[in-house]
Amino acid sequence: MASESDELCRTYEGMQATFAKQGLDLEFIAGLRDSYQLDEHGEPQPLTYAELRPSLPPATQRLVVFPLDTSAELLKQAVAATEDIIDHALPPGTTVYTNAPSRLHITIFYLSHVEDPQPEPYKAKGSGATHSSDLNPERLQLEEETLRSAVAQFPAFSVQVDRVLLANSGTLLLTYTDPSGQMQAFRSHLRKTLPGAPKRQTNIIHTSLLRILSPQQLDDKTREAVQAKCDEWTQKLRGKELPCSALWYLHESYYANIQGKSTTLSLK
């Protein structure tokens, strides 16, 4: 029977192969561009959820993440890989958004998502949960207390780097496996504790390093150059461990960017 890590590896291999064959999903990328604006230097920056159209109320997107800063060396190399691929594989002038080093992370679990807002994720569906517009400080406080208790019951663990890949979404990913099975167990633990959370959750383990926002397709030569750089960094990073001992609980304010009210919670 295949392990969780084996299944993750096959998923990453499939994502890598899709990009090699098909290149970028330009329709998907076009849909992302409306969530960014250019700053005074011509660099894309994410809009706040209030600035999106339609706009969203505060704290609509709430999630928990593991920051990369628990491994200073891995964080440093992730930044170096990103810069190397921009400088030596992508065409000059490619529009990219790069996450700041301080915001590099692994998303663990959404308590509420912009596509599925949940004001009371600690309640099972059908148990008196209210409409999303009824979100208030008292419910947020109860949510945080419920989450804090759940996190404190779970022991710290580690995940291992598998590879660097560019997905057809235009996102450069640092991906991980779960040899101990503890990431899967932790996500299941949060699901049981927060039964009213969004049904759709991320099922891979990854850090988003950059997003390509240019409307142009990458030609075969460029795809090969990107893949060669990804392979080079995979060889350097595969097997490195990221300790998962403390997480951030976030009320995300900016699109797909972990800026906003943040609380640090420690695992057991």
Domain CATH code at residue 199: 3.90.1140.10
Would strands 61-67 and 96-98 be described as parallel, antiparallel, or unpaired?
unpaired
Count CB atoms within 10 A of the CB of residue 123: 19
Give the whole-angstrom CA distance, residue 166 versus residue 256: 17
More confident residue, 25 or 133: 25
**pLDDT for res 131:** 45
Q: Give me the domain span that covers residue 8.
A: 4-266
Percent of the chain residues topping a pLDDT of 70 = 96
Tokens of 35: 């969530």
- DSSP-derived letter for residue 211 is E
Mean pLDDT on 191-215 = 97
Residue 16, pLDDT above cutoff 70: yes
For 40-89, the pLDDT digits (tens) are 999 999 999 999 999 999 999 999 999 999 999 999 999 999 999 999 99
**pLDDT for res 125:** 76
Count CB atoms within 10 A of the CB of residue 69: 15
186-210 in b/e form (b: 16+ CB < 10 A) is bbebbeebbebbbeeeeebbbbbbb
**pLDDT for res 126:** 63
Give the whole-angstrom CA distance, residue 53 versus residue 90: 31
Give the whole-angstrom CA distance, residue 263 versus residue 58: 16
Task: Give me the residues paired with residue 176 across strands.
Answer: 161
Per the structure, how many domains does the chain have?
A: 1
SS3 state of residue 77 = helix
Q: Where are the beta strands (DSSP E) in 25-168?
A: 36-38, 44-46, 61-67, 96-98, 105-112, 157-166
Distance linking the first and last C-alpha atoms of the chain? 30
For 133-192, the pLDDT digits (tens) are 578 899 999 999 999 999 999 999 999 999 999 999 999 999 999 999 999 999 999 999
Tokens of 69: 């800063």
Residue 122, pLDDT above cutoff 90: yes
**pLDDT for res 35:** 97
40-65 in b/e form (b: 16+ CB < 10 A) is eeeebebbbbeeeeeebeebbbbbbb
For 236-253, the pLDDT digits (tens) are 999 999 999 999 999 999
17-31 in b/e form (b: 16+ CB < 10 A) is eebbeebbbbeebee
Give the whole-angstrom CA distance, residue 146 versus residue 162: 32
Give the whole-angstrom CA distance, residue 15 versus residue 36: 25
SS3 content of the chain, % helix, strand, coil (to 5): 35, 30, 35
Please report where in the chains the tokens 């990458």 appear, as a residue. 218
Tokens of 188: 């299941």
Confidence band for 1, pLDDT divided at 50, 70 and 90: low
Residue 257, pLDDT above cutoff 80: yes
**pLDDT for res 4:** 83
